[in-house]
A and B are shown apart, each in its own frame.
Chain A
């Protein structure tokens, strides 16, 4: 039982490069989320998708785009990476109201 799977686990980018972080869940959850974790800032919401076909901005969406490809997959794209996007990125999925969210293992991204 995989739960939430994120790829890659580690990535180093040069400023200006683009990349897509992949996330897939096998729990048939409707809602999926992308967070970034920075020291002293906790988990800040980048984008979320309440259901297949919908996406909404969170607290810190600038510089990112997302795609809810289907119910299982929710990808996060950096079109032109900046050093300020150096962070650990977590994907999560949520089954419904009054339930817990499950997290992936994270992607550690460094932009140089």
Chain B
């Protein structure tokens, strides 16, 4: 039973516009959340994280929002760039690190 869910397998966005990726979780013991980016034939690389005591964290073009009552987090990428085309994984930690199924983002020129 997957505790971290990314229900949108793919997202296509125009260059310069906002990309919004969503993630839902079921385990209320998760206390740290992360987003990873993955290019083909490479390992996932860390993008941004948020602690359960916060509701927002920004790093340049990337912002993660956490809504604990809804057990929902989202990643905003503004503006989207062609190099952002990749698979994005949502992850969460209680005593282990669990991942969602990923969302493939395609940024169109």
| Contact in complex: A103, B44 (CB < 8 Å) | yes
Instruction: Provide the bound-state CA to CA distance between A56 and B98, in Å.
Output: 14
0/1 string, A82-108, CB within 8 A of B gives 1: 000000001010100110111111100
Any B CB within 8 A of the CB of A50: yes
Q: Which residues of A contact B (CB under 8 A)?
A: 4, 31, 33, 35, 40-45, 48, 50, 56, 58-59, 90, 92, 94, 97-98, 100-106
A-B contact pairs, 13 of them (CB 8 A): A4-B43, A31-B96, A31-B97, A42-B101, A43-B91, A59-B2, A90-B43, A97-B32, A98-B49, A101-B91, A103-B36, A104-B43, A106-B41
Q: Could you say which of A35, A98, A103 contacts B32, with CB atoms under 8 Å apart?
A: A98
Name the residue on B nearest A48 (C-beta).
B96
| Contact in complex: B9, A100 (CB < 8 Å) | no
Q: Could you say which of A35, A94, A105 contacts B99, with CB atoms under 8 Å apart?
A: A35
B89 contact set on A, CB distance < 8 A: 42-43
Any A CB within 8 A of the CB of B45: yes
User: 5 smallest A-B Cβ distances: which pairs?
Assistant: A42-B101, A103-B43, A43-B99, A100-B46, A42-B102
Query: Closest CB of chain A to B49's CB: distance in Å?
Result: 6
